């Protein structure tokens, strides 16, 4: 048996392996990289591991945790911020420590928001495909100047603020709404806090940056879409559940919404992050969304920068080193 503690990494993608193995302190760990996602059936793959390292779509409910405890696992290290996929109560009862990476790079997510807005508005996704086919026609590729337009930023936390500041740099008027507004920040950055209805009524672009909670679920739905300007553009890099997708599709069909950029989708689990190119798409709602030329979708990749992956790996290893309960675990290593 190896002298180093083993950490079983579930749902491993090539970039996880690359960044985890090159982060400081990595050499003190025996990594067991597994492509399979964690659930009650696959938990036994962690046999003799001291810890498991998991991501957003791994299932860590009670039955999985029981299997992990039986396998000798003492620590679940999430390499993401959200922890809705872990039964914390069960983990506590079973003596399993849970850790996560609460913040890695808000710049990564804010910058992806801007990338989506620019690509959607200037129809870069369509132009790219056309030019590759030697179609150099510009018909149907007319965009609009961002300068002078109004953007409504819903949620001015770490990510929303950075997005608002960048968009202000384009010469846009920035409206914002947050349940906990920060008037000093807004005054310094020429951002105007308004109520949600005003934001919806006056914005040319609405960008969502709140967490998914009971209050924010289906924030964008038929009745809020009806408040918005004809031709509004909607951007969501936060959580799919913020938008009622069926209502969004109806507004796209009438042309009331002129463009949609999404990095998240209500039913993304089991679809996003996977290569399904050889299969038949079973989600009819997603299939319909994909038919619109004015809908641009990325598969939850806003976090995917070198800096964010480096920080996720650094903090995950730090968490493994600090929190693990076994005395020998990484003791004496310099992280």
State yes or no: residue 57 binds ligand NAD (CB under 6 A): no
Catalytic residues: 239, 268, 300
Which CB atom, from 158 or from 218, has the smaller least distance to ligand NAD?
158
State yes or no: residue 238 binds ligand NAD (CB under 6 A): yes
Which residues does 270 contact at the CB level (< 8 Å), separation at least 6? 57
Judged on CB neighbours under 10 Å (0-12, 13-18, 19+), 137 is exposed
Which CB atom, from 77 or from 302, has the smaller least distance to ligand NAD?
302
Question: Among the candidate windows 61-69, 234-242, 254-262, 321-329, which touches ligand NAD by CB under 6 A?
Answer: 234-242
Residues contacting ligand NAD: total by CB under 6 A: 28
Site for ligand NAD in 156-185 (CB under 6 A): 156-160, 177-180
Site for ligand NAD in 119-158 (CB under 6 A): 154-158
State yes or no: residue 237 binds ligand NAD (CB under 6 A): yes
State yes or no: residue 321 binds ligand NAD (CB under 6 A): no
User: Which residues are 234's β-sheet partners?
Assistant: 206, 260
Secondary structure E strands in the chain: 6-9, 30-33, 51-54, 75-78, 97-99, 150-154, 173-177, 191-193, 205-208, 232-236, 257-262, 295-297
Which CB atom, from 1 or from 184, has the smaller least distance to ligand NAD?
184
Cα gap 189→184, rounded to integer Å: 9
Quick one: which of 215, 275, 284, 327 contacts ligand NAD (CB under 6 A)? Answer: 215
Cα gap 282→142, rounded to integer Å: 33
Query: Residue 21 — φ and ψ, nearest 5°?
Result: -80, -20
Return residues touching ligand NAD (CB under 6 A): 106, 109, 154-160, 177-180, 209-213, 215-216, 237-239, 263-264, 300, 302-303
């Amino acid at each position: 048996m190896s002298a180093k503690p083993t950490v079983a990494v579930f749902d491993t993608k090539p970039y996880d392996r690359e960044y985890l193995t090159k982060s400081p302190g990595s050499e003190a760990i025996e990594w067991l990289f597994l492509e399979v996602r964690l659930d009650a059936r696959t938990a036994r793959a962690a046999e003799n591991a001291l810890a498991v390292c998991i991501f957003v779509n791994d299932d860590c409910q009670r039955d999985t945790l029981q299997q992990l405890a039986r396998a000798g696992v003492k620590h679940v290290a999430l390499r993401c911020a959200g922890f809705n996929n872990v039964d914390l109560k069960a983990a506590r009862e079973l003596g399993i420590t849970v850790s996560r990476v609460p913040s890695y790079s808000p710049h990564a997510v804010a910058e992806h928001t801007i990338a989506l807005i620019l690509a959607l508005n200037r129809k870069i996704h369509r132009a790219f495909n056309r030019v590759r086919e030697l179609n150099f026609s510009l018909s149907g590729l007319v965009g609009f100047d961002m300068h002078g337009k109004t953007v409504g930023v819903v949620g001015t936390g770490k990510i929303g603020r950075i997005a608002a500041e960048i968009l202000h740099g384009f010469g846009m008027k920035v409206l914002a709404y947050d349940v906990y507004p920060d008037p000093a920040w807004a005054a310094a950055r020429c951002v105007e806090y308004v109520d949600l209805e005003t934001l919806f009524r006056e914005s040319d672009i609405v960008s969502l940056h709140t967490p998914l909670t009971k209050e924010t679920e289906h924030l964008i739905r038929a009745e809020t879409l009806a408040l918005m300007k004809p031709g509004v553009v909607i951007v969501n890099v936060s959580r799919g559940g913020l938008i009622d997708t069926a209502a969004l599709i109806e507004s796209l069909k009438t042309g009331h919404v002129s463009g949609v950029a999404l990095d998240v989708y209500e039913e993304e689990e089991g679809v996003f992050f996977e290569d399904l190119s050889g299969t038949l798409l079973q989600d009819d709602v997603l299939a319909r969304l994909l038919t619109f030329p004015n809908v641009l979708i990325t598969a939850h990749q806003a976090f995917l920068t070198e800096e964010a992956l480096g920080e996720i790996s650094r903090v995950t290893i730090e968490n493994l080193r600090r929190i693990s309960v076994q005395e020998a675990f990484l003791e004496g290593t310099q992280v």
